[in-house]
């Protein structure tokens, strides 16, 4: 059992990298990848914690890329955590997050909700403050009953408190991941919100620019979606990857390794990714 999509306290997860390694060992993972949003700082702690572990720890990242139709994230596997150009680009993205956070806060306050940045930071980790932390703060204040409601009413794209932010283009993101020695993979393609023809065209364009895989196996993907994405990996010679998108108590329904219970990522995926690592 492997899980190649996991978040820590360095972005919007509730467990430290060391705690993730401990949990991974407890449930019998053979390999895990840390894919925090727009930061690779937690990977050093992950690799240190995994030195004496029985599982393979893979340094990774999840980069938010610019995309008008929906949400496009790119996962990078086997990246070098000390790669300066990638770290600098991610710092620019995080700075854009901070600017957006101020705007979101202003919109919520203008709507009459008594919420401060400190209220939001109570739920954030080491580096990244994002919309999931706003959702948790709104929940703690009693303004919503669930984090999902916070996104549906306020924080989702097109909702009253939504604000856009700086992102790299998909092509820039793929290039930076490759420069850092990593393998760029399209995360949860369902969030692109494209029909099959549009998705095929987009994947083809990304593959021409160096995309090496698609996250086929994912907690929220149906069997029909998995089958469709597998066809795309075959057509464009891409690796079929997968992961739970585990966040810990931030989203307790999703469990490490198995997602909602039925997730199963083939063990050979790690070897297939390693074969595509950039020298």
d(CA 177, CA 184): 6
Position 249 scores a pLDDT of 85
Sheet holding 72-77, edge to edge: 2-6, 31-34, 56-65, 72-77, 183-186, 213-218, 239-243
pLDDT tens digits, one per residue of 106-142:
888 888 888 887 887 777 766 667 777 888 888 888 8
pLDDT tens digits, one per residue of 47-74:
999 998 889 999 999 998 988 878 899 9
* Whether the predicted pLDDT of 36 surpasses 70: yes
Shared fold status for 2-90+169-274 and 101-155: no
Which CATH code for domain 101-155? 1.10.150.650
DSSP state of 88: H
Could you tell me which residue, 269 or 137, shows the higher pLDDT? 269
* Whether the predicted pLDDT of 191 surpasses 60: yes
Q: Tokens standing for 71?
A: 């949400």
- The proportion of the chain whose per-residue pLDDT surpasses 90, expressed as a percent, equals 58
- What is the domain partition of the chain in residue ranges? 2-90+169-274, 101-155
DSSP state of 151: I
* Whether the predicted pLDDT of 225 surpasses 70: yes
Q: Tokens standing for 169?
A: 């283009």
d(CA 209, CA 175): 8
Position 278 scores a pLDDT of 63
CATH classification for the domain delimited by 2-90+169-274, as one of 3.90.220.20, 3.60.21.10, 1.10.760.10, 3.20.20.140? 3.20.20.140
Could you tell me which residue, 29 or 71, shows the higher pLDDT? 29
pLDDT tens digits, one per residue of 239-257:
999 999 999 887 888 999 9
d(CA 204, CA 208): 6
């Amino acid at each position: 059992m492997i899980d190649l999509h996991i978040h820590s306290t360095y972005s919007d997860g509730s467990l430290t990298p060391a705690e993730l390694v401990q949990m991974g060992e407890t449930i019998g993972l053979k390999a895990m990848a840390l894919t925090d949003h727009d930061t690779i700082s937690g990977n050093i702690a992950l690799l240190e914690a995994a030195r004496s572990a029985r599982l393979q720890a893979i340094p990774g990242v999840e980069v938010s890329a610019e995309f008008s139709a929906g949400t496009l994230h790119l996962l990078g596997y086997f990246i070098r955590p000390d790669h300066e150009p990638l770290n600098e680009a991610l710092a620019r993205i995080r700075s854009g997050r901070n600017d957006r956070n101020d705007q979101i806060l202003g919109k919520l306050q203008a709507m009459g909700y008594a919420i401060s940045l400190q209220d939001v930071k109570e739920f954030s980790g080491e580096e990244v403050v994002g919309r999931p932390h706003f959702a948790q703060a709104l929940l703690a204040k009693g303004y919503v009953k669930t984090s999902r409601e916070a996104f549906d009413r306020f924080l989702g794209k097109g909702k009253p408190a939504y604000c856009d932010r700086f992102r790299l283009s998909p092509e820039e993101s793929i290039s930076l991941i490759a420069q850092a020695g990593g393998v760029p993979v399209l995360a949860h393609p369902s969030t692109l919100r494209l029909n099959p023809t549009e998705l095929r065209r987009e994947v083809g364009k990304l593959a021409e620019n160096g995309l090496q895989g698609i996250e086929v196996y994912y907690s929220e993907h149906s069997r029909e979606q998995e089958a469709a994405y597998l066809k795309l990996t075959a057509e464009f010679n891409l690796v079929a990857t997968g992961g739970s998108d585990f966040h810990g108590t931030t989203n307790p329904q999703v469990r490490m390794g198995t997602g909602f219970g039925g997730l199963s990522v083939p063990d050979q995926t790690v070897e297939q990714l390693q074969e595509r690592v950039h020298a």
